[in-house]
Chain A
């Protein structure tokens, strides 16, 4: 088939498995540390199977750092709300740009394209000043509102709706549905594949975001997990068993989502990668 090499399949497999090992070792090593005692961590061995297997670290991180649960909650609430509004707003904007005729449609589309070129760093400091003057520092809305729309996905949704069959909307119009009813009752339910890819990207992006919460949240109660993890690391720098346990707790939800939706994820990459 599409095979540029006629090299031996065996060599290929060995290479792929080797790279698979390189991919997994850091994760397994971290997982292993999260079940080791501090004494074993400090001794610096290279054993992947803990000598004395313990769940203590997972218990201890919640005891040592009572805010840990709070950070988990903060991250989850922000990521969920951001994801919900992105799905709604990006689809609405993408649909309007693709299908609704209104003066300024073209101009707004070019604006979205221009937005794609602006690097995130340029807006970070002024965003901080604006959030400060709104009194939104150390608040959920400070993290949520600036990120509820995403130009990349507006663009992606526009491309998706451009290829959407017109007949369905025409039928809806004949049934007397207006644009909003058509959009929410007919179009959006059929946009599931595009929405699925978007959901994962937006959720992961928000869940993993480091720079914005670092700048917006200075009150430890309002930290999201990446910021909390970093603070935790600063405090317990020699307790790698704790740090790794905390890292594993943080990675698990993302991993679960990835395990279930990896097909959409990879589709999403090829879409945004190829077109944006």
Chain B
């Protein structure tokens, strides 16, 4: 009896030890490059940071946060980002839903379509942006097509009125297929019996769509919208490449993350950049947590 409990105790210790060993790489990396940075960010946002030579800090209290309010470029970046989120998220969600519904129909070649549609999401943002800049060239493909149909043409890269729209079009095109695949997976989960029962009750195709499919897709739609908001809020690569890092023309493609990058690495104003980051992070985390609350509950039932 004592021998057995001694044995079990040894085994438990061994088990615990191996558990910690399995976790060690993760704990070290997440500790140094995630937990520490988060704490560091919070502390440094209250400091003025000197990046040149040896990095040094000076406590400045809430000064960085006070500055945000009067910063004209923050207002512009916020306006651009909000506009971008408000236009891109609904359109890409609807497009993803439409494509998923079309592909969910029992047709030949659907997996081929799915693989083809998905292509932009695996292509790098840098390459996509370069390809679209080439298409948006003032004597480029898009303008040629527009003038062929006698539609107005634009200087997509240089006109502040349309530059951000160019990025919107590109990213809707690039992101919708990702969400389409998630919608498609959700559509597989709709119980067939519901449709059969509805058919017996004499429901039409549209009736079934409104009363069965759509309600069933509500949680996944919520998930997709929130993921879309989080993703669009973080727009950086495309704006950076499009404008050579300036956010131009005339600040038209300046986003919050691009502004943070500029303050940190062009103006070397790290403390202020971190204060901005914290505000952005707070917004994103709020959205994420709300999503987890809803989505987590929906999923677990």
Q: Do they bind each other?
A: yes
- Nearest chain A CB to B217 CB, angstrom units: 10
A215 to B261, CA, bound (A): 9
Interface majority SS on B: helix, strand, loop or mixed?
helix
Which residues on A sit within 8 Å (CB–CB) of B177?
23
**B68-76, B84-92, B184-192: which lies at the interface:** B184-192
The reply to whether A30 and B131 form a contact with Cβ atoms under 8 Å apart is: yes
- Nearest chain A CB to B34 CB, angstrom units: 6
Q: Does A1 make an interface contact (CB < 8 A)?
A: yes
The reply to whether A27 and B289 form a contact with Cβ atoms under 8 Å apart is: no
Given known contacts A244-B134, A251-B124, A251-B127, is B234 in contact with A96 (CB within 8 Å)? no
- Nearest chain B CB to A114 CB, angstrom units: 10
Q: Does B66 make an interface contact (CB < 8 A)?
A: no
The reply to whether B241 and A233 form a contact with Cβ atoms under 8 Å apart is: yes
Q: Does A132 make an interface contact (CB < 8 A)?
A: yes
Q: How many residues of B contact A (CB 8 A)?
A: 109
User: How many interface contacts (CB-CB < 8 Å) are there between A and B?
Assistant: 297
Q: Does B140 make an interface contact (CB < 8 A)?
A: yes
- Nearest chain B CB to A247 CB, angstrom units: 5
Partner of B182, one of A23, A247, A270: A270
The reply to whether A123 and B38 form a contact with Cβ atoms under 8 Å apart is: yes
Q: Does B178 make an interface contact (CB < 8 A)?
A: yes
A3 to B284, CA, bound (A): 36
The reply to whether A210 and B237 form a contact with Cβ atoms under 8 Å apart is: yes
Which residues on A sit within 8 Å (CB–CB) of B106?
1-3
**B1-9, B159-167, B275-283: which lies at the interface:** B275-283
Interface majority SS on A: helix, strand, loop or mixed?
helix
- Nearest chain A CB to B123 CB, angstrom units: 6
The reply to whether B23 and A96 form a contact with Cβ atoms under 8 Å apart is: yes
Given known contacts A15-B102, A121-B277, is B113 in contact with A20 (CB within 8 Å)? yes
The reply to whether A102 and B20 form a contact with Cβ atoms under 8 Å apart is: yes
Given known contacts A20-B117, A146-B29, A266-B114, is B22 in contact with A96 (CB within 8 Å)? yes
Which residues on A sit within 8 Å (CB–CB) of B115?
262, 266
| Chain B, range 150-199, C-beta contacts under 8 Å to A | 173, 177-178, 181-182, 184-188, 190, 192, 195
Given known contacts A1-B106, A101-B19, A265-B122, is B29 in contact with A89 (CB within 8 Å)? yes
The reply to whether A4 and B29 form a contact with Cβ atoms under 8 Å apart is: no
Given known contacts A122-B41, A250-B124, A269-B178, is B185 in contact with A27 (CB within 8 Å)? no
List the 10 shortest-distance A-B pairs measured between CB atoms, nearest first. A102-B19, A44-B139, A126-B37, A96-B22, A208-B124, A226-B126, A270-B185, A126-B40, A100-B19, A4-B209
